[in-house]
Amino acid sequence: MTAALAAPTPLRDGDLSLLLLDEGVPALLVAASHDEQITRWTQVPQAISLFEAGLVTAGWSSNPTVVRLQVCLPDLSPAGMVTVWINDSGEAEVGYWLLESARGRGVARRALRLLSEWAFATCDLELLQLTTLPGNTRSERVAQAGGFRDAGTVARDVKGSDHTMRLWVRNRGGALERPAIAAP
């Protein structure tokens, strides 16, 4: 059984806003598809057109098991995306990416914490997971700063290929526990 997530609302932390998707999201996705770091470490495909991005984003609003929000700053709107979804195993997972102009400023850490706190408070979740590809040390630092702890490894599909990824977890209430998950 797959659970639906609560309908998102704009979230704010000072000058950082997590906003609902709008007509500008395809252009954001195109920019991400031309960012080598985003396409290297995430599911974002390389070098897509605005038409292709529009096709991808058109179907996003119809899936009640995924919540996507734009990461926006006053001087860099929009600067990236954060996502929470229910994966094929019925577990809640989060992901994030930022355009180069927003990196290195603590934006990803703040956005991840804001999204995580919202997900625990609004979606009745007990545990959040995120995964990182081996070598993605910047994302691992964001995960740790966001209250996630290393929970071993897990196999995941990334752009059609199986990869062993590092699994990070955070549970409700900030009490961080390591679940019993076997390594592949």
What beta strand segments (E) does 20-134 contain? 66-72, 80-86, 92-98, 127-132
* Domain spans, the chain: 11-174
What is the pTM for the complete model shown?
Answer: 0.88
| 79 Cβ contact partners less than 8 Å away, ≥ 6 residues apart | 71, 72, 73, 98, 99, 101, 102, 107
Question: Regarding the domain delimited by 11-174, which CATH topology (the fold level of the hierarchy) does it fall under?
Answer: Aminopeptidase (3.40.630)
pLDDT digits (tens, 9 = 90+) for 56-83: 998 887 788 899 999 999 876 799 999 9
> If you average pLDDT over residues 149-165, what whole number do you get?
93
What is the pLDDT at residue 181?
Answer: 40
What is the pLDDT at residue 174?
Answer: 63
